[in-house]
Structure 1
Amino acid sequence: MCLINFFFLMSISISLLLLSMYFIMNELVYFLEWEVVSLNSMSIVMTFLFDWMSLIFMSFVLFISSLVIYYSKEYMSEDMNINRFILLVLLFVMSMMLLIISPNLVSILLGWDGLGLVSYCLVIYFNNVKSYNAGMLTALLNRIGDVMLLMAIAWMLNYGSWNYIFYLEFMMNDFEMKIIGVLIVVAAMTKSAQIPFSSWLPAAMAAPTPVSALVHSSTLVTAGVYLLIRFNILLNNSFIGQLLLLLSGLTMFMSGLGANFEFDLKKIIALSTLSQLGLMMMILSMGYYKLAFFHLLTHALFKALLFMCAGAIIHNMNNSQDLRLMGGLSLYMPLTSSCFNVANLALCGMPFLAGFYSKDLILEIVSLSMVNLFIYFLFFFSTGLTVCYSLRLVYYSMTGDLNCSSLNVLNDESWIMLKGMMGLMIMSIIGGSMLSWLIFMTPYSICLPFYLKFMTLFVCIVGGLFGYLISNISLFFINKSMNNYFISMFVGSMWFMPYISTYGVIKYPLKIGMNMIKNFDQGWSEFLGSQNLYSQLVNNSKFIYMMQNNNLKIYLLVFIMWIIILMMFVIFM
């Protein structure tokens, strides 16, 4: 089943990529309407939008999902229900497809809700308490976005149709359209895990690693960014656009900082996804939607590769994800380590790899734009943090000696997993240049002063140096001792956001529930209600039983009492 799906999805992906090139060269947009039901004067119509953007995105989603399914053939080989797993992944991909080609808010909701529901099923795939908690947190936070979309659908009734694409441009200054814009931005923030909805993304790491590779590269978390790319007109010169710029900048900064204090391999990569999502949202809220889309595609390639390499490492490490137990993996797993390092360098923006073309362009555009010093600092400092945690990750896992049990057999003999990783590694090397030639017909030529032109490179070098120093033995005690302090707890736990999202929200309702049980169910209502009724019935039945048991004695006693009363009555008369 895995192989059939792999070849099927890969062939569709290649054909869609070729079709997107044709659409770009001829500047085509196809709008298809399919009448599902027609009854008297009522008709239900499904609409689909095919342009270069939706086609190229679908091509990338299918390419990554085909390799992930192929990779799962070996990664999930010990699973008894692998066919169920593959079907869930295919459902996930189909929901994303529906979302990508929908110019209609109702059909977007179908794809959006499909992603939320299937992601819940995949997060709880390993049936344990941690998975259930993570799944519930993921589902409930995404439910906020679903409600926002439903409210946006209700507001779209002002225009007589849910095909937002017809009304965006010439109704953009309407009060109703501004409200719809706010609702869509909040929905996108929940799906793309921006502050204050960030806590579900690292929690979703409870899912199997192939699912993480798919979710964090091109499907679930990118749905919010893609929706805002479609609604980008509403963000221009608006308050909600400026607020999104600030919140996404803080998200980028927070996740970059948190990844430097984390020792869970998958969680570090998840936080790096959050950081890149913040970068996409920031450049999108500044009005450069093509750049955000470009980075979305390049990021999908190397992030999927990072997760697949992490999965291979975890598999070999006897299912351990702790970074401190790793070391010297480059000696034992050279091919996996090569793929891992290529993906890491692409993430850092190493020249001429996929990440460089989009990331460097974004940072140069920021240097050219009219942004304040705080936003500029968030952009560049967070980029330095990216290099910092990437180098720390490589230092702990690739260098030194292996720190775990010597009984582990570390090797590169999982050829199916390696083939999947090799396909993505090639794309992580050539994908950026290929996309930059495709998307931008005329190359961007950005003229900046010398020190601003080299600012990105300088920030990356300083970040890398700091990452090395933090991980090195000479400063290891700082890293270790900081884990005992409040600041480390604050930074390492995403600014206490998971606590606020779970313990903070649930503490008082649970307390109220406990008091209600104590005072009502087990308190006065119990005493005056069922308990009181029970005790009365018991007492009455005891009295009747006593009467029936001692009837002669009671008769004589009553007779004597009656004589006494009669005599007293006679005496006193």
Structure 2
Amino acid sequence: MNKFSLCFISFFFLFFFMLMNFFMMIYFIMYDMVMFLEWEIVSFNSMSVVMSLLLDWMSLSFMMFVLLISSSVIMYSKSYMSSELNLNRFIILVLLFVFSMILLIISPNIISIILGWDGLGLVSYCLVIYYQNIKSYNAGMLTVLSNRIGDVLILMVIAWMVNYGSWNYIFYLNFMNNDFSMKIIGGMIILAAMTKSAQIPFSSWLPAAMAAPTPVSALVHSSTLVTAGVYLLIRFNNLLIEMFFFKFLLLLAGLTMFMAGISANYEFDLKKIIALSTLSQLGLMMSILSMGMPILAFFHLLTHAMFKALLFMCAGVIIHLMNDIQDIRLMGGLSLYIPLTSLCLNFSNLALCGIPFLAGFYSKDLILEVVSMSNLNLLIFFLYYVSTGLTMFYTIRLLMYLMVNDFNLLSIYNLYEEDYIMLKSMFILLFMSLVSGSFLSWMIFSYPYMIYLPFNMKMMVFYIIFLGFIMGLMISNMGLYSINKFIKTYSLSSFMTLMWFMPNLSTYSLNYYFLNYGQNLLKNIDMGWTELYSGQGMYKIIKYYSVINYIYQMNNFKIYLFSFVLWMMIYIFMVMMM
């Protein structure tokens, strides 16, 4: 098979299933349908192993978005990864990733959720280490170890739910509210979701996972891996809403949003800036979810998936153009050379900021107005609005560095026009970034939300966006004379740049300690005492006795004579003693 034919077949099938999902979603919303499918795999006496699927408007719409983004990413990979010798292997890994996510989306059963959840973790590890260098291996190890915490917690939930006679958690959510032991399950689910969606203190793996190829980043950091935790909490929301720990999640998510916004302003790596913006938006989804508004969180999850995938695709084109350099200080004036990619990049960035009538505006503005209306303390209010301002701040800084400043890489450089295969896949997502916000707001909310607030409260979002815009312009024009100010505040700058020293805590301290401990266990227990008293020990004892037995079997006269004399002496001694 030609290495490009699998790309085309995958794109065609994913796009076809996406269209099928779209029409099913419209039908399910119109008739308010929920379909619960059960397939009995094996039945023995009174025991049956059943595979369950839950199809409702939520799972179908999420699946539609995942399939649309993954089909665009595979089409994009055909050009982006064209020099890759093992392109089919890459495409198969991406398809496995998409399949794991779909399994997670349509599962009402905690067993099938762990299959999808673990599949995501395993395949993401394979994709992060795809380029096979030391940086990729370190990032992959950090990613997989951070996600293992969530896997273990879900396994503990499976063990705990044995008490209820079934793993179909969807039937028990309302009953669980009255049961204290189910609060333990709720706490485990929240912690598991925090590891997958990279909330503080598990945030450091998300920017590290940028070691993966850019098409993978576009898929992983928009609609699949990082949103799995948010989606799990949306499904379990009825159980969690009364829990104190859920309120604590509001603070952690707000701090994640704030920390990611600050770190993105100190960052110069193009992909890491976009990764930190993903982290910020995940904090926004988690925080509004912990306030008890799962539909709003789901709405923002879907709109965010579109423009974030597009943003990563544009970053991939720019990185190709710059000979695989990701430092934004060496870029500039790109709108003159790659106008269509620049158009997509600017639209997706503006949608991220929540500029009116683009996709991000419909969800972000609604979330912030609901926050303004709610009964929250000043700290949470501050975190929401300042994080929104910081989003505008780092976006304008990025646009100034990429589009407006002078080109800094080389004095003579041949910048080529964009690849049309990449552009076609990007234009699909550009169209969705423009219309998906209004389309989803019509589909999800059956009646229009009218939120009445005082004029200044209503305009607060625009004030913050305008302030972020001015600050972004000022920072990007500060130039070299700002270096002295950074040197004066070196400690603060390093604290902000390194995500509040979280990578040091998770990577260099905890992971190193646990991996070292594991190595000592392996050396002393598995390859030491256990070997001595099981495999190797038994082998040595049997070998020793078999050698003695073999000597006897040689029919040697001296041995028989020696044995006869020995037994006679023992017999005589015993007779004399009697």
TM-score range, shorter chain: 0.7 to 0.9
Match of 2:573 in 1: none
Moved more, 29-38 or 269-278: 29-38
Match of 1:530 in 2: none
Which of the pair has more CA radius of gyration?
A: 1
State how far apart, in whole Å, the 1-side matches of 2:323 and 2:242 are: 52
Question: Does the 8 A contact of 1:316 with 1:409 survive in 2?
Answer: no
Match of 1:268 in 2: 273
Q: How many residues align?
A: 517
Displacement of 1:65 in angstroms is: 0.1
State how far apart, in whole Å, the 1-side matches of 2:150 and 2:518 are: 28
SS in 2 for 1:15: helix
State how far apart, in whole Å, the 2-side matches of 1:452 and 1:164 are: 40
1:309 aligns with 2:309: no
SS in 2 for 1:495: helix
Match of 1:553 in 2: none
2:374 to 351, 369, 376: 369
Match of 1:35 in 2: 40
State how far apart, in whole Å, the 2-side matches of 1:473 and 1:376 are: 30
1:14 to 19, 23, 38: 19
TM-score by length of 1: 0.88
2:232 to 210, 217, 227: 227
Question: Does the 8 A contact of 2:317 with 2:418 survive in 1?
Answer: no
Match of 1:405 in 2: 410
| Change over 3 Å in CA distance of 1:186–1:508 after alignment to 2 | closer
Following TM superposition, the consecutive aligned residue runs of length 4 or more in structure 1 with deviations greater than 6 angstroms are 509-516
Question: Does the 8 A contact of 1:298 with 1:431 survive in 2?
Answer: yes
SS in 2 for 1:260: helix
State how far apart, in whole Å, the 2-side matches of 1:296 and 1:223 are: 10
State how far apart, in whole Å, the 1-side matches of 2:12 and 2:151 are: 34
Match of 1:359 in 2: 364
Displacement of 1:237 in angstroms is: 3.1
2:113 to 108, 113, 119: 108
Moved more, 129-138 or 234-243: 234-243
1:453 aligns with 2:452: no
1:67 aligns with 2:67: no
| Change over 3 Å in CA distance of 1:392–1:248 after alignment to 2 | same
Displacement of 1:515 in angstroms is: 11
State how far apart, in whole Å, the 1-side matches of 2:8 and 2:306 are: 21
| Change over 3 Å in CA distance of 1:453–1:236 after alignment to 2 | same
Equivalent position amino acid for 2:472 in 1 = G
| Change over 3 Å in CA distance of 1:229–1:442 after alignment to 2 | same
Moved more, 136-145 or 4-13: 4-13
1:436 aligns with 2:441: yes
In structure 2, list runs of 5 or more residues that go unmatched: 1-5, 522-578
Match of 1:527 in 2: none
Question: Does the 8 A contact of 1:346 with 1:356 survive in 2?
Answer: yes
Moved more, 205-214 or 465-474: 465-474
1:477 aligns with 2:482: yes
In structure 1, list runs of 5 or more residues that go unmatched: 517-573
Match of 1:538 in 2: none
TM-score by length of 2: 0.87
State how far apart, in whole Å, the 2-side matches of 1:482 and 1:447 are: 47
State how far apart, in whole Å, the 2-side matches of 1:296 and 1:99 are: 16
Displacement of 1:38 in angstroms is: 1.9
SS in 1 for 2:176: coil
| Change over 3 Å in CA distance of 1:509–1:14 after alignment to 2 | closer
Question: Does the 8 A contact of 1:470 with 1:479 survive in 2?
Answer: no
Match of 1:98 in 2: 103
1:138 aligns with 2:143: yes
State how far apart, in whole Å, the 1-side matches of 2:483 and 2:21 are: 51
Match of 1:125 in 2: 130
Residues 253-292 of structure 1: pairs in structure 2 closer than 5 A:
253-292=258-297
Equivalent position amino acid for 1:16 in 2 = N
Displacement of 1:507 in angstroms is: 5.5
| Change over 3 Å in CA distance of 1:207–1:510 after alignment to 2 | closer
Displacement of 1:512 in angstroms is: 8.4
| Change over 3 Å in CA distance of 1:362–1:483 after alignment to 2 | farther
State how far apart, in whole Å, the 1-side matches of 2:81 and 2:517 are: 44
Question: Does the 8 A contact of 2:176 with 2:239 survive in 1?
Answer: no
Match of 2:427 in 1: 422
2:299 to 294, 302, 321: 294
Match of 1:170 in 2: 175
Equivalent position amino acid for 1:15 in 2 = M
Question: Does the 8 A contact of 2:263 with 2:499 survive in 1?
Answer: yes
Displacement of 1:172 in angstroms is: 1.1
Question: Does the 8 A contact of 1:483 with 1:489 survive in 2?
Answer: no
Equivalent position amino acid for 1:391 in 2 = I
Equivalent position amino acid for 1:220 in 2 = L
Render the CA deviation track for 1:136-177: whole Å, top value 9, x for unaligned: 000000000000000111111121110001110122121121
Equivalent position amino acid for 2:182 in 1 = M
State how far apart, in whole Å, the 1-side matches of 2:413 and 2:250 are: 47
1:486 to 466, 488, 491: 491
